[in-house]
Amino acid sequence: MDIQTFLQQFVNALSLGSLYALIAIGYTMVYGILRLINFAHGDIFMVGGYLAFYGVSAFLMPWWMAVIVAIALTTVFGVGLERVAYRPLRDSPRISIMISAIGASFLLENLAIVLFDARPKAFPVPEFFAANFVIGGVHIASVSLVIPVVTGVILAVLLWMVHQTRVGMAMRAVSTDIEASRLMAIDVNQIVSITFAIGSALAAIGGILWALKYPRLEPLMGIMPGLKCFIAAVIGGIGSIGGAVLGGLLLGVIELMTVAFLPELTGYKDAFAFILLIVVLLVKPTGLLGKNQGEKV
């Protein structure tokens, strides 16, 4: 192996890992607030991709406008989903709300098959993103540069928001103790909606970036990235934004580097995430950056 191949793989891994990180943040925020695995997160990601596609191909919008509209609509959609599918179950056993999330995911996938057609669609990639650079012998598609930048900016904004603003403070309060927050006159419903809005917007951005990177839309395209990013969030320590980013990057790097340097393991690529998940859960169940929470007896 030479340094050039290594750099090439590293750039690819960084870009994939950042994308995982972006989606993982959405999972981790929702889980932090509601202790809910939002199984439908991957499907919201898919909806974001499709909406951008229709914006460009059916409504003939310029790509930047299609992206903005898609993000906005997906955000509204995610907030609506929480209202309909999760809010009525907030005080139910955790298993019920998880089943509802699975149902929502199932429903979105099947609706997508009905509405968008099961056949894959080619996503129109604007020239700007398709451009290829060669730096020191390393080929870089511009989208591979855009992704880490977008993730970095979003991470910075979110960390600022969570730690410096009133809304962020309320979010942290709700995630620590939902009942106490209610008593402190925090509008819990509003905070949950804001969290879902942010999570869904991130899923939409992730979906669009994914489609720019792998320009092929399918109704079930959200399942695997969705699961992997949830795993990334768990590995990093669910509930922690920094952890989600760490987990996403780690997963991206491990996945691509293993395939690059141990090609005989390529067939097992989709199992890496799960194996990593199980190892982390058994060794450090709270994830790399997570805090310990036990049941009080």
Alpha helices, H only, the chain = 3-34, 41-57, 63-81, 94-116, 127-130, 142-164, 166-176, 178-183, 188-213, 223-236, 241-261, 269-283
Q: Count the residues of the shown chain that bind another protein, applying the rule CB under 8 A.
A: 43
> Which x/- pattern over 35-74 shows residues binding another protein (rule: CB under 8 A)?
xxx-------------------------------------
User: What tokens does 89 get?
Assistant: 């179950």
159 binds another protein (CB under 8 A): no
30 binds another protein (CB under 8 A): no
Q: Which residue has the tokens 């880490």?
A: 148
**What is the Cα–Cα distance from 222 to 91, expressed in whole angstroms?**
28
262 binds another protein (CB under 8 A): no
163 binds another protein (CB under 8 A): no
Site for another protein in 209-238 (CB under 8 A): 223, 227, 230-231, 234
Nearest CA-CA partner of 47 in 18, 22, 72: 72
Residue with Cβ nearer another protein (106 or 160) = 106
Binding stretches for another protein (CB under 8 A)? 35-37, 85, 88-89, 92, 94-96, 98-100, 102-104, 106-107, 109-111, 113-114, 118, 223, 227, 230-231, 234, 267-268, 270-271, 273-275, 277-278, 281-282, 285, 295, 297
